[in-house]
Amino acid sequence: MNCMSVDVEATFQRGFEYRCGGQYDLAKAEFNKVLAVEPNHSKTVHQMGLIQGFEGDFDGSLATLQSLCEKYPSNLEIRYDLAMTQMMLGMSDEACANLRLILAADPTHEKAKQQIVYCP
């Protein structure tokens, strides 16, 4: 399959389904096909950042998600995943700050509302 024949959304969706099923190697293979065609495909970079964390590269995951938050500050899904990664790693101040930013932008964000209860 050459780069010109990649159906970006279908390939992304396959990668996403593999990622959700814990098949990270297959997910990365699909996501790399997307990135070969669209290196800045934010949804794909986001998913690759999550896989980094799932595979134990916490510093890489944090860096990827933080970079995406800086590039797409209004994307609450990315910010939420960054907050959850920070919370998991004991970075509660940073996580709570991100949860507050999410709720300031969208007071109805259910996941952030559930997590903010753990913040001082």
Query: Any idea where the domains of the chain sit in the sequence?
Result: 1-56, 58-120
42-90 confidence digits (pLDDT tens): 999 999 999 999 999 999 999 999 999 999 999 999 999 999 999 999 9
Query: How many Å apart are CA 80 and CA 109, to the nearest integer?
Result: 10
Q: pLDDT class for 96, splitting at 50, 70, 90?
A: very high
> Does the model's pTM come out above 0.75?
yes
Query: In this predicted model, what pLDDT tens digit does every residue of 3-21 receive, in sequence order?
Result: 457 899 999 999 999 999 9
Provide the 10 A C-beta neighbour count for residue 26: 15
* Domain spanning 58-120: CATH superfamily: Tetratricopeptide repeat domain (1.25.40.10)
Place of tokens 């990622």: 19
Torsion 37-40-41-46 (CA) sign: positive
Write down the pLDDT at residue 4.
Answer: 53
Q: Which residues have a Cβ under 8 Å from the Cβ of 61 and sit 6 or more positions away?
A: 49, 50, 52, 53, 85
